[in-house]
Amino acid sequence: MKNFKKSGINLFIFLIAIAAVFLLGSSLISTGSNDSISLYPHSNGRTCGTVEFNELQMKQHPEFRINRTRIEEFAKNYSMPQNRSVITIPVVVHVVYNTQQQNISETQILSQIDVLNQDYARLNSDTTQTPEVWKPIGANSQIQFCLAQRDPSGNQTSGITRTQTSITEFTGSNDQRIFFTAQGGQDIWDRDRYLNIYVCNLGGGLLGFAQFPGGNPQTDATVNLYTAFGTTGVVQPPYDKGRTVTHEVGHWFNLFHIWGDEPDCNQDDEVSDTPLQGNSSSGCFTFPHTDACQPNSPGIMFMNYMDYSNDACMNLFTQGQSTRMNAALNGPRASLLNSNGCIPVGIIPISNEIPTEFSMGQNYPNPFNPSTSIKFSVPKASFITLAVYDVSGKIVKTLVNENVNAGIYKVDFSAGDLASGIYFYSLYTEGRLIDTKKLMLIK
């Protein structure tokens, strides 16, 4: 009798365990999520679906895997030039919303663009939190961003599209409806001319995901949770500093997660100046933090934008990561260098053929606050006009309007109410446009 009762109890416990496993499995299947997504909801830690999304893309488009091999070979052999100009990337933000709360404000969107420009120029105020040992390799990538001023058809735009959808939640990185208007999302703008950033109610426990260079042009974008976008509005801590988008755009520029996406010390992120790391970080570690791959101080670089730390604990890209991103911009994403997406309608587009006898150097520093200098020369004295425009095409400063043949002219934005953002300067001689270039003011 004792043995029978004991057996009955064991059978009862066994049946309960089976039921629990079945219910858990049903839950995972019903959400359409994989284990890594379901077990780590964003309320408990940062989650990025980039690896899963790109693996799915490679299965659906086998040429993507071939392209990735070629792109990696290019990145390994790329050398960063010492003197390089700032590259400004035209951005279109696609807000795909079901409720009005998800239809985030323009102010929230602009706050995210500001974060991108600060983080990628290493002008973020929290650079002081970078440990001293790594401050020398903290990088200004020379990459900046502007909301697009003209759409793919050449018409004026705010750089923001808004699409109301009946879809209450995009279920994760395997849900591609976000990229297609006919499926309840929004068609992508030409990826060779714009960085497409989607904002939506992203499910599956994800904060975001992005496509690496070399994939399907119809899905070549970043996708982001609307409460982890920018620094104001409906953002929710600890993802309220805009670093989710900084992270996902890093993927779009071909950066891997800092730990190499495998929980061991043999997997690398292909960047030489980031230390090996066993697995992703979470929350906010106290420096130094060590693991099995880095058992001694300074330990792991948990404050790198490509880790999973909270927004407030992220503060740098390294020189090696900057080189890798610039390799993408000089390789698979080189078409962006010729995009006129940042040039407002009404401003003469940047000249593609500048006469060799004329010269207008890139302003330095750029980005700047509050002043910078512009250098130019022409073969002989003539009537020169050098003017600065805002993104609407309005002249905000005329630096030169006289007979000269060369000079270095200081642009001082310390006075007045000019806001941070993109500006343009154009050089004319005898009424003929010589060149137009971009400036970035960050206050």
70 inside domain? yes
Boundaries of domain holding 12: 2-31
In this predicted structure, what is the pLDDT of residue 328?
A: 98
In this predicted structure, what is the pLDDT of residue 177?
A: 98
Q: Do 248 and 381 belong together in one domain?
A: no
Q: Do 212 and 285 belong together in one domain?
A: yes
Token pair, residue 381, equals 């004295």
370 inside domain? yes
Q: Do 391 and 278 belong together in one domain?
A: no
342 inside domain? no
Q: Determine the Cα–Cα distance for residues 138 and 274; give it in Å rounded to an integer.
A: 11
Q: Do 232 and 314 belong together in one domain?
A: yes
Q: Which residues carry out catalysis?
A: 248
Tens digit of each residue's pLDDT (9 = 90 or more) over 33-69: 332 222 223 334 789 999 999 999 999 999 999 999 9
What total number of domains does the chain contain?
A: 3
41 inside domain? no
Q: Do 68 and 23 belong together in one domain?
A: no
Token pair, residue 208, equals 């975001």
398 inside domain? yes
Whether the full predicted model's pTM is greater than 0.85, yes or no, is no
Q: Determine the Cα–Cα distance for residues 165 and 181; give it in Å rounded to an integer.
A: 9
Q: Do 72 and 207 belong together in one domain?
A: yes
Q: Do 234 and 114 belong together in one domain?
A: yes
Q: Do 374 and 322 belong together in one domain?
A: no
Q: Do 303 and 397 belong together in one domain?
A: no
Q: How far is CA 398 from the centre of its chain?
A: 34
229 inside domain? yes
Q: Do 411 and 279 belong together in one domain?
A: no
Q: Do 10 and 91 belong together in one domain?
A: no
Low-confidence ranges of the chain (pLDDT < 70): 1-44, 348-364, 380-382, 392, 405-406, 416, 430-433
CATH of the domain at 180: 3.40.390.10
Tens digit of each residue's pLDDT (9 = 90 or more) over 291-342: 999 999 999 999 999 999 999 999 999 999 999 999 999 999 999 998 989 8
Q: Do 308 and 400 belong together in one domain?
A: no
396 inside domain? yes
226 inside domain? yes
Quick check: 152 and 345 in contact, CB under 8 A?
no
